[in-house]
Amino acid sequence: MDRLPSRLWIDALVRRAQLGGASAFIVQHGDDDRGDVLIKVARLDGTAAAYLPSTSLAGQRIFLNLSMQGVGPEEASVDEYVRRAQSRDRDLWIVEIEDKDGRTFLTEPVED
């Protein structure tokens, strides 16, 4: 099954966050059709988390919480990871969600 174009998927994510009472911002605009995505969720207390898409063993699109790879929970650690990712991939979409409860608003499963 083909993925939705990145732009459409991002627009839906931002809208879900806004409808849920959070703020969501596109920090970097990637390739409209096939750009990869990096999600940062800031909890507004100095902590944050980062999420990247992956594929499960069953072939399903999932998101990985990068905390298991030593990214976060301090927001400065997540910001440093985002800066490195941004410099490596100019087609990368970076979305920041600000939500005190740390909600991702992803419809895909998240693996911690």
Are 49 and 101 in contact, with CB atoms under 8 Å apart? no
Name the phi and psi angles at 94, rounded to 5: -120, 120
Helix H or strand E segment including 49:
strand 48-55
User: What is residue 1's predicted lDDT score, i.e. its pLDDT?
Assistant: 43
The CATH architecture that domain 6-111 belongs to is 3-Layer(aba) Sandwich (3.40)
Question: What's the pLDDT tens digit per position in 78-111?
Answer: 999 999 999 999 899 999 999 999 999 999 999 9
SS3 content of the chain, % helix, strand, coil (to 5): 30, 30, 40
Average pLDDT over residues 24-49: 95
Listed by start position, the domains of the chain span: 6-111
pLDDT of the residue at 25: 95
31-60 in b/e form (b: 16+ CB < 10 A) is: eeeebebbbbbbbeeebbbbbbbeeeeeee
In whole numbers, what is the pLDDT of the chain averaged over residues?
94
Query: What average pLDDT does range 10-16 have in this prediction?
Result: 97
pTM for this predicted structure: 0.92
